[in-house]
């Protein structure tokens, strides 16, 4: 039986995403952070539903930016395939971390291959809820992501729902998974699950990965001088 053909206009290295409707993102525990609180570059394993690693993501940042700007820091995130080839680059600029400044909220750009934008995730102002708009490479709105009013990881999972533009239909979700009391209390290494329609454009599936990383940094990343946020404020 012939192998399935990748979808048209699929960026190289992302063919596997066209075959799946869910993916797991597991942040690696950094011993230096646990022992002395020194912020290191974040690293993540990206796995399929069977727990097999399909990609690896690593933050590319300097020591000063990581430890001075904390969770609000700008970053480049490189996604590598199992052969070590960079297939996606994600860029987060330095933006305001509070909804008090609605003109300069959070954003991340996703490129595949590196240097070629395929989509964006932009935070939208709301007084209570974390809201994001998913855009394609032409900056056209495609989907919305809406989180809970209180983002508190306490013995339960937290869902950020992926919705249609009219916010009437839930088509998927990004879930911050409860990792156990020890891991949650003593590390900021988080686990996420992403669910999306199987027939979703493969580029938008990659953009959903970018949304997951942006949500992680905004709400679940903590340093010695900045604790994780419990909401948009």
CATH of the domain at 119: 3.20.90
Per-residue pLDDT of the chain (233 residues; tens, 9 = 90+): 555 666 778 999 999 999 999 999 999 876 655 555 556 788 999 999 999 999 999 998 877 776 777 777 889 999 999 999 999 999 999 887 665 666 778 999 999 999 999 999 999 988 889 999 999 999 999 999 999 988 766 678 899 999 999 999 999 999 998 866 545 544 556 799 999 999 999 999 999 999 999 999 998 877 554 555 555 55
Residues 30 and 66: their CA atoms lie apart, in Å, by 14
In a domain, 2, yes or no: no
pLDDT of residue 37: 55
In a domain, 8, yes or no: no
Residues 124 and 130: their CA atoms lie apart, in Å, by 8
In a domain, 5, yes or no: no
In a domain, 88, yes or no: yes
Q: 59 has which bridge partners?
A: 77
pLDDT of residue 40: 75
Rg (CA), the chain: 17
Helices (H), 119-194: 181-186
pLDDT of residue 190: 79
pLDDT of residue 141: 98
Q: Which residues constitute the domain of residue 164?
A: 15-180+190-228
Q: Tally the domains of the chain.
A: 1
In a domain, 7, yes or no: no
In a domain, 81, yes or no: yes
pLDDT of residue 63: 75
In a domain, 134, yes or no: yes
pLDDT of residue 182: 46
């Amino acid at each position: 039986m012939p192998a399935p053909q990748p979808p048209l206009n699929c960026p190289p290295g992302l063919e596997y995403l066209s075959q799946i409707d869910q993916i797991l993102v597991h942040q690696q525990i950094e011993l230096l952070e646990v022992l002395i609180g020194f912020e290191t570059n974040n690293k993540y394993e990206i796995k399929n539903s069977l727990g097999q690693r399909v990609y690896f993501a690593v933050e590319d940042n300097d020591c000063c930016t990581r430890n001075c700007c904390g969770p609000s820091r700008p970053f480049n995130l490189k996604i590598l395939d199992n052969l070590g080839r960079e297939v996606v680059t994600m860029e987060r600029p330095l933006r305001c971390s509070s909804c008090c400044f609605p003109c300069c909220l959070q954003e991340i750009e996703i490129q595949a291959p590196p240097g070629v934008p395929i989509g964006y995730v932009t935070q939208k102002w709301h007084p209570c809820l974390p809201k994001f708009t998913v855009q394609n490479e032409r900056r056209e709105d495609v989907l919305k992501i809406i989180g809970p009013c209180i983002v508190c990881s306490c013995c339960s999972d937290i869902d950020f729902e992926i919705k249609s533009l009219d916010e009437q239909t839930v088509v998927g979700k990004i879930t911050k998974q409860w990792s156990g009391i020890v891991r949650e209390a003593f590390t900021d290494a988080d686990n996420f699950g992403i669910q999306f329609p199987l027939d979703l454009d493969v580029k938008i599936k990659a953009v959903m990965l970018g949304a997951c990383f942006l949500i992680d940094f905004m709400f679940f990343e903590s340093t010695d001088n900045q604790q994780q946020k419990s909401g948009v404020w």
